[in-house]
Amino acid sequence: MCDRHVVIFDGECNFCHGAVNFIIKRDPQAIFVFAAMQSNVAAQIMEKYNIDSVSMDTILLIKKGQCYVFSSAAFEIVKDLTWPWPVLSVLKFIPLFLRDYLYRLFARHRYALFGRRELCLLPSDHVKSRFLGT
């Protein structure tokens, strides 16, 4: 598990489910594993990394013992995807406060834009092993 990166996402968010599927399709080495933020597994991971002040409006990435949130998590994720997605890392030149402001603005409206599900759907059998706690 230590060589895999853990993505914690909002399991009720349609956009977030789409993002997870996007990552899976562009991660042929299967270095990313996933946990819904509402799950017990995610709660344990967040407790282990002393993450208690984040809300559901972010994706969390645990990579090599470090926790990334907001736009930093997104940029760290794209770095490990197949070509051409790592190219987006060049946008890290945008100041963090501005990147995170734009990230939070989008996150605040993601339910209105993409909808919300009441339950986190179970993954299909071919990717089930990539989801923690299922």
Check residue 11 and give its pLDDT: 85
Query: What pLDDT shows up at residue 1?
Result: 47
How much is the pLDDT for 57? Answer: 74
For residue 9, what are the CA distances in angstroms to 58, 90, 94, 95, 122? 7, 24, 24, 24, 14
- Give me the residues of the chain with pLDDT under 50, please: 1
pLDDT of residue 124: 67
Q: Where are the domains of the chain?
A: 5-130
Q: Which distant-in-sequence residues (6+ apart) come within 8 Å of 130 by Cβ?
A: 24, 30, 32, 33, 34, 123
> pLDDT value at position 12?
84
**Residues 21-47: tens digit of each pLDDT:** 999 999 999 999 999 888 889 989 888
> Which pLDDT value is given to residue 120?
58
Instruction: Indicate the pTM of the whole model.
Output: 0.86
